[in-house]
Structure 1
Amino acid sequence: MTPSTKPETFLLTSMLLCTLLGLGYPLSCEVCIRNGAKCTGVMKTCAQDEDSCISVMTETNNKGSVDVTSYKGCAKSSECDPEFLSITVAPENYMGSDTRCCQTDGCNHKPLPAIVRNHTENGLRCPSCITAFSETCTSTQEAVCVGEETHCVAVSGLAQPGIRFAARGCGTEAACHSKPGTLVPSGSRLLTIKKTSCRPSPQASGKAE
């Protein structure tokens, strides 16, 4: 039997081909989470709605114990917040995170540059607290802001496998714009920021606390 060459058959075939091409192929990204600045893992096929490869490096200080964690994986573009953010709760309790996103297969293979955090006090202060198993915390002290931290920030979210957390302190302007779903690796866990509220530090505008 000879294939049909009718115009309507050709048009239908062309439309089907264009539709399939428009759907595209699933993205593949390197996936890993490691303590330290280097993270290498296996390639993984992302879910259909995950259109970006993400790389995140985080430096945390918990009561004087400084740790660096690296994470790579698949993500939705809505979860990508490609800026350096910093939050300080106390001199020995802070977090700095650098995120990069890209949209081609395996594009997150290269390591992120080392985090360089400015520890110089800038004269600003914010109410501070941190707690687990709750989405809110009550401030009992003040955090001394450093570097580009010019805002008072409150964040809450989830620490895998589902433990709630909340924190308040000094933050960079980038921390104020953290999107719901922003991923922050910390040790062997991957924190997910669910809610962020922010205001300029009162001292920054010359007003009393």
Structure 2
Amino acid sequence: MQTLLGLFTCLVLVTTGNSLECEVCSALGTSCTGSTQTCEAGKDTCIITMSEHTLVGYTMQMIDKGCASSNVCKHGPKYMDFGQGKQLRSIVTCCVGEACRTAAPQLPLTITKPNGKRCPACYTSSPGACKDEETVACVGPQQSCLDLAVTVTYGTIVVNTAQKGCVSKSVCDDLRRNETNVFGVRSVVTKAECKAPLTQAVLGFLFFAVFLSRGTSLECEICTGIGSSCTGMMKSCDAGQDTCAVTFTEVSLAGTTTQSVVKNCEFSSVCNLPPTYMNVGQGQYVKSHIACCMGDDCKTAFPQFPPAMDKPNGKRCPACYSFFFGGCEAEMVDCVGIEDYCLDMVEKVTYGKFTINIIMKGCVSKPVCAAKVGEVTVAGAHSDITKAECTPASVAA
């Protein structure tokens, strides 16, 4: 049954036209032959869909030939990752007439480099078994989170499936509620949504936002953005907040480096804070700097990220960074520059319907130790720090 479920996940995403005739067939493997059929009105090309499914510990390939609307010819390869090694990739080749019989479509390349985004992940025939805290790291072109529900009927057997994970834009372009019937199995898509993923950058500036109190009649531009600039509405600051601030953050996690900017109202006491540095091991780090400004100067503020520091200062801390339950296995890392403290932090981030539990340990500069247990909401993501402890770093033997 898992084989059938994998097969239908891709089929429901492809639209399969007039006096055109196409060969129609489906089979496991890389080739199939079938009868030639006249296409329905609106379907103006023949297509060959090659797909590969890795589910429950094994991998299978499948080919499907049929009629389709030529708009599918513009779509790129499809990549889907449901976590726990369950993945699908496919590509559509358009052709006409005899060319379809001799075409040899190739599967899209395998992509493994993380892109810094994460999505809730689940692939099950028991929808209630999906847990929002289970996530998967997206790779390459996987820029969206899929939330798909499919009812599969095979004879007297009815299975309600839930599929969540990272997907490429091409999957979302074809996404719709519809019905298909292949090999006597009826598949009905009852839910089909693509959502924005949670990015490492959001987590990065969430981490530093907890240090900032969020003005008087002062007005400041309020915005957050990925990159080195953002624009937003002017807002009157709360009582006591007497300056505008621009916070620049650089996050390097899971092989991806992302910069972000936050503009808001602040207390002038933050203007004298030195840059913040955090080293969580394995080349992963977070660094941030706050620039204070007033009025139009904030709109033209140019990011000055803290300089990189690589000279060891003779101190060491246990370090790790994990999105998962059960803790993380810390390794000792050499602290550099002004990283004189060891941080041990646990944070729960809620973004939309899913929750990520983050554990962070590593060398940090003194300003990071201002982190306190508590809650804050930034850019629609709610951060709840349940543990925040700083201790002096040990001197390396």
> Is the structural similarity TM-score above 0.5?
yes
2:344 to 151, 154, 172: 154
CA–CA separation in structure 1 for the residues paired with 2:259 and 2:242: 26
- 1:5-84 equivalences under 5 Å are 26-47=217-238, 51-75=242-266, 82-84=273-275
Residue of structure 2 equivalent to 1:167: 360
Are 1:177 and 2:367 an aligned pair? Answer: no
Are 1:122 and 2:122 an aligned pair? Answer: no
Describe the shift of the 1:165–1:26 C-alpha distance in structure 2 as closer, same or farther (beyond 3 A).
farther
Residue of structure 1 equivalent to 2:285: 94
Deviations 1:47-82 (A, max 9, x none): 457554332111111133211111112346788883
CA–CA separation in structure 1 for the residues paired with 2:256 and 2:383: 22
CA–CA separation in structure 1 for the residues paired with 2:347 and 2:264: 19
How many Å apart are 1:151 and its aligned residue?
1.4
Describe the shift of the 1:191–1:139 C-alpha distance in structure 2 as closer, same or farther (beyond 3 A).
farther
2:219–2:235 Cα contact (<8 Å) kept? yes
Tell me whether 89-98 or 35-44 shows the greater mean CA deviation: 35-44
How large is the RMSD of aligned CA atoms in angstroms?
A: 3.7
Describe the shift of the 1:132–1:80 C-alpha distance in structure 2 as closer, same or farther (beyond 3 A).
farther
Q: TM-score when scaled to structure 2?
A: 0.37
Residue of structure 2 equivalent to 1:3: none
Are 1:197 and 2:367 an aligned pair? Answer: no
How many Å apart are 1:164 and its aligned residue?
4.3
Give 2:367's aligned amino acid.
A
How many Å apart are 1:97 and its aligned residue?
1.0
Greater RCO between the two (CA within 8 Å, min separation 6)?
Answer: 1
Runs of 5+ consecutive residues of structure 2 not aligned to the other structure = 1-214
Describe the shift of the 1:165–1:113 C-alpha distance in structure 2 as closer, same or farther (beyond 3 A).
same
1:143 to 315, 333, 342: 333
Deviations 1:107-126 (A, max 9, x none): 64323423312123333221
What secondary structure sits across from 1:118 in the alignment?
A: coil
The structure that has the greater radius of gyration is 2
2:216–2:240 Cα contact (<8 Å) kept? no
Give 2:388's aligned amino acid.
T
2:280–2:362 Cα contact (<8 Å) kept? yes
Give 1:203's aligned amino acid.
V
Describe the shift of the 1:178–1:88 C-alpha distance in structure 2 as closer, same or farther (beyond 3 A).
same
CA–CA separation in structure 2 for the residues paired with 1:131 and 1:69: 21
How many Å apart are 1:148 and its aligned residue?
1.6
Runs of 5+ consecutive residues of structure 1 not aligned to the other structure = 1-23
How many Å apart are 1:197 and its aligned residue?
1.6
Q: TM-score when scaled to structure 1?
A: 0.64
Alignment coverage as a number of residue pairs: 177
Give 2:391's aligned amino acid.
R
Describe the shift of the 1:31–1:52 C-alpha distance in structure 2 as closer, same or farther (beyond 3 A).
same
2:317–2:332 Cα contact (<8 Å) kept? yes
Give 1:170's aligned amino acid.
C
2:277–2:368 Cα contact (<8 Å) kept? yes
